Amino acid sequence: MPVNVGLIGCGVISKVYLNNLQNVFDATNVTVVADGRLERAQERAAEFEVPTALDSIPDLLSRDDVEIVVNLTAPAQHFEISKAALLAGKNVYTEKPLALTLQEGVELTRLAEERGLLIASAPDTILGDAIQTARHAIDAGWIGKPFGFTGHALWAGPASWHPSPEFLYQPGGGPILDNAPYTIAALVYLLEASFRRVATFGSRPFKELTIGSGRKAGQKFPVGLDTFVASALEMDGDIAGSMLHSMSVPHTKLGDPRQKDMGIEIYGTNGTIILPGPAFHDGAVLFRSKEAGEWSELPSLYPHLRDVRGLGAVELASSLLEKRAPRIDAKFSLHVFEVLTQMVEGNDSKLVHNIGSSVGPRGAGVPIGLEPGQFA
């Protein structure tokens, strides 16, 4: 029997979540959706054959047919809603970020542990085709001992296409909390290492932007944070690296179109592996050994895990069904979130910040050869 899911927040991202949770994977069944705008919840419910649509979060949390709450609200609401869900006895999967402050993140993970519940946060792209394929190569020793990395996600930002982009340019959004989680999570997962120190510097090239689509097209809004940030980071295992994240860069020649024009390079004593944009589940994974004359593209090992946003919620459901630890758990999510909060604070203070948390042992990779709809 699938695990019943209640989804809160029926905005832009909810459509791909609902499609995957309701139509693609066998482990989940969405029983109810809720949104502050009832008509939007009703629209999503009708589109994805969800039995119930509500405009009341407490009503959703009181239902017996909800085991996992998927929190897709704006970042400023994540803590309050996730805490209420845990207090109601529900497991939680939330979009990034986990909360707005480290103290809130710690409170959520502690509350889940005390109540014997699961909580995890996006990103879930570490479970997709590209990063799982790369994991096999790194674990097999193809690049030798990893010692360094670079990462970049340089794009113009969502103002031109998102119908309500304002929240992404305020505290809780921006290139650190909206873009960098993908890079941080991928590195922690692939290198089986925790971050230890970070220094971040940023700039704000635009003080206001114009909404480019939807009913608010043409309206201007203020930019409330730096939209270009550069970071230097240190990880366990004598690994160091740098990252660039931006919501202000219209063009770059870093990266490769097959890699979504973003990417991560991981350097080892035996060679280099390049991952596609970690905000996506798919893309080209490139490898080159010290002796090789050219790059080779690794064959895809997970062809059915390429456009599966919401996979983290499916993983949470699968872990409940199989009575095992989830691959994205509270400890992993809190560590990624702490790195991000220290990047934000480091950008404000221009000081090096230490990371206090760490990740636990990494779980098994996703099995090869699963059929569409399966996830174990």
pLDDT in tens, 43-100: 999 999 999 999 999 999 999 999 999 999 999 999 999 999 999 999 999 999 999 9
Over residues 105-117, the mean pLDDT reads 98
- At 374 the pLDDT is 85
pLDDT per residue over 251-298, tens digit each?
888 877 777 778 999 999 999 999 999 999 999 999 999 999 899 999
Judge whether 120 and 330 are in contact, CB under 8 Å: yes
Q: What are the Cα distances from residue 114, in Å, to 37, 61, 326?
A: 33, 19, 17
Strand 286-289 versus strand 220-222 pairing type: unpaired
Q: What is the pTM of this model?
A: 0.95
- At 75 the pLDDT is 92
3-state secondary structure 72-101: CCCHHHHHHHHHHHHHCCCEEEECCCCCCC
- At 366 the pLDDT is 94
- At 368 the pLDDT is 93
Phi, psi angle pair for 334, to nearest 5° = -70, -40
| Complete domains list, the chain, with CATH | 3-124+309-326 (3.40.50.720), 125-297 (3.30.360.10)
Tokens linked to 145: 């001992």
Q: Is the model more confident about 361 or about 200?
A: 200
pLDDT per residue over 298-355, tens digit each?
999 999 999 999 999 999 999 999 999 999 999 999 999 999 999 999 999 999 999 9
Judge whether 90 and 183 are in contact, CB under 8 Å: no
Reply yes or no on whether the pLDDT at 234 is more than 90. Answer: yes
Q: Amino acid letter at 46?
A: A
- At 180 the pLDDT is 96
Judge whether 108 and 329 are in contact, CB under 8 Å: no
SS3 164: coil
Residue 14 to residue 204: CA distance in whole angstroms: 30
Residue 191 to residue 349: CA distance in whole angstroms: 28
